[in-house]
Chain A
Amino acid sequence: MHNKTIAELAKGLRSGEFSSVELTSAFLNRIKQHSTLNAYITVTEDLALQAAKEADARLAKGDAELLTGIPVAQKDIFCTEGVKTTCGSKMLDNFIAPYNATVVDKFNNAGAVMLGKLNMDEFAMGSSNETSYYGAVKNPWDTNTVPGGSSGGTAAAVAARLAVCATGTDTGGSIRQPAALCGITGLKPTYGRVSRYGMIAYASSLDQGGPMTRSAEDAAIMLQTMAGFDGKDSTSVDLPVPDYMAGLTNSLEGLKVGLPKEFFGEGLNADVAAAIEAAIDEFRKLGAKVTEVSMPSLKLAIPAYYVIAPAECSANLSRFDGVRFGYRCENPADLTDLYTRSRGEGFGKEVKRRILMGTYALSAGYYDAYYIKAQKIRRLISEDFKRALSEVDVMMGPVTPSTAFGIGEKIGNPIEMYLSDIYTIAINLAGVPAMSVPAGFAQGLPVGLQIIGNYFAEDRLLNIAHQYQQVTDWHTHTPKGFE
């Protein structure tokens, strides 16, 4: 059962081949069996079985939706009422969310069964899942390597079939990079497409939630449920949501694909490059016209991002003060001691590093040199995207410069870790949507192809990925031991 797509499972649930309770139990067993991956922070077994019973009743009545009875999991950044929501941090180890994120409400309303909350880098800051207070997650393809981050628990869980599909969030690559390293499909929607209400904020002008699945078809089903205007999110965009399933079968004949030359330069692993070139050849066979495009400002995406994201993070994370919720230090001497020690003891090293960086960039005397300068570069990067995407329909390239790296390999060198996001970060600065699609292997580890589209072109991205998955089978490969 665990290898079926959402559509196949929905069919099985309706034909009576299996019930949601049986399906849910099978996944709960797999989660226990493979607990050493450390993909889950919290498993909500009782709630899941209860939700599965309700889903079975709804299926019997005939008012079910596609996701009704399907076991899914939530990245632990989404607030779940009555369920511990940690964001991977000691700061929130005792936090039982008092309300649901809009995304969680949407899955609940669709009748999806939540299996639990998935591990992640602390406050979504990291590219390896090693900054989590709950420990590193292992990549099911090679348990000595990282699953990527920050949505590392999600990527490992979907790759190892410990959930049918699950949510991720992406501020600088946190859906696409782990999806690539774990060989699954991940979509970062256009900024504003999916509600951020109840999604714990890291960098508010960059954060966006999205689906992480095995196939593009599953991602289309998931995004259909996740997307849409939400009055509770002031940056939610009020545009109609297209029927993502309807466009999947469109032909790619005449599709204009641009290859940003900046994505294929120095630093790209040769085997990864070969897998990406092979994938692009498949698109040529499908009728795509491939040309080179250039985005000259792209090289400044990492410095601009590491000013803007920490600046926003330092403001957002000021709410964690030991007063209203979350961790509070023992025996504070006075109010300043309460703030300083609660934050000092509650946050891990990477979070502190970014709070310090952001505080510095926003402080008097440095604001113009760093923060305003970075925002100007953000404008130029965004204009590069607009110009390139007026010449071509989509752009393609690698998601990451290499395949999954070893646990412990980069955690001691933050700058090196930041550079692993070199192909993903600019997309968030511009706010356009992008996908990671399984595109083969290099030395036995998965490679992800990145497809970048214009604002609100998620339907086109899903169509392109789905057509590729009709002529390739990379997305169906399962790591050894998890078949």
Chain B
Amino acid sequence: MSLTADDVKKIAHLARLGIEAQDVASYAKDLSGMLDLMTQMSDLDTDGVEPMAHPMDQVQRLRPDVVTERDNREKFQAIAPQVEAGLYLVPKVIE
């Protein structure tokens, strides 16, 4: 199975991932190679097999509904690219 340059651009957009125009062809080639590897999976009959998402087959552990975290806003915002008045700043979204 092979992916085209347009496929790669579409996937990159879904991931909001910038890729350089000159690299698109090499990603298409690498991803097509990976997909070739994955076609081997169809050799194995997996009808009726329960998908395994996690090695322990665990259920989510519950905890008492009590406050365990302190307010660390200042600490966390100290490492942010741009903050003002306790808010994270991004380019204007609404005109």
A and B from one complex: yes
- Decide if A302 touches B37 in the complex (CB within 8 Å): yes
The CA of A306 and the CA of B46, in the complex, are separated in Å by 18
Residues of the A chain whose Cβ atoms lie less than 8 Å from the Cβ of B91:
332-335, 337-338
Q: Which of A306-332 contact B (CB under 8 A)?
A: 306-307, 314, 318, 321-326, 328, 332
The tally of residues in A whose CB lies under 8 Å from a CB in B reads 70
**A378: interface (CB < 8 Å):** yes
What number of residue pairs across chains A and B have CB atoms under 8 A from each other? 160
The CA of A415 and the CA of B20, in the complex, are separated in Å by 21
Name the one of A234, A238, A341, A380 contacting B60, with C-beta atoms under 8 angstroms. Answer: A234
Residues of the B chain whose Cβ atoms lie less than 8 Å from the Cβ of A299:
40
By beta carbon, the residue of chain A nearest B14 is: A359
Beyond known contacts A306-B37, A373-B41: 15 more, CB 8 A cutoff: A234-B60, A234-B61, A238-B61, A300-B43, A321-B16, A324-B76, A324-B88, A326-B81, A334-B93, A337-B91, A353-B27, A356-B15, A375-B52, A376-B51, A379-B50
Q: How far is the CB of B37 from chain A (nearest CB, A)?
A: 5
- Decide if A303 touches B15 in the complex (CB within 8 Å): no
The CA of A356 and the CA of B9, in the complex, are separated in Å by 10
Question: Given that A335-B93, A370-B38, A377-B44 are contacting pairs, would A345 and B18 also be in contact in the complex, using a CB cutoff of 8 Å?
Answer: yes
- Decide if B40 touches A303 in the complex (CB within 8 Å): yes
Chain B contacts to A: CB under 8 angstroms = 3, 7-8, 11-12, 14-20, 23, 27, 30-31, 33-34, 37-38, 40-44, 46, 49-56, 58, 60-61, 63, 72, 75-76, 78-82, 88, 90-93
Residues of the B chain whose Cβ atoms lie less than 8 Å from the Cβ of A192:
55-56, 58
Q: Which of A188-246 contact B (CB under 8 A)?
A: 191-192, 205, 231, 234-235, 237-238
Residues of the B chain whose Cβ atoms lie less than 8 Å from the Cβ of A264:
none
The CA of A101 and the CA of B63, in the complex, are separated in Å by 21
- Decide if B19 touches A344 in the complex (CB within 8 Å): yes
The CA of A170 and the CA of B60, in the complex, are separated in Å by 23
By beta carbon, the residue of chain B nearest A192 is: B56
Q: How far is the CB of A353 from chain B (nearest CB, A)?
A: 6
- Decide if A191 touches B56 in the complex (CB within 8 Å): yes
Residues of the B chain whose Cβ atoms lie less than 8 Å from the Cβ of A48:
none
- Decide if A303 touches B11 in the complex (CB within 8 Å): no
- Decide if B90 touches A338 in the complex (CB within 8 Å): yes
Residues of the A chain whose Cβ atoms lie less than 8 Å from the Cβ of B11:
356, 359-360, 363
Name the one of B41, B54, B60 contacting A304, with C-beta atoms under 8 angstroms. Answer: B41
- Decide if B52 touches A382 in the complex (CB within 8 Å): yes
**A430: interface (CB < 8 Å):** yes
The CA of A360 and the CA of B10, in the complex, are separated in Å by 9
Q: How far is the CB of A309 from chain B (nearest CB, A)?
A: 11
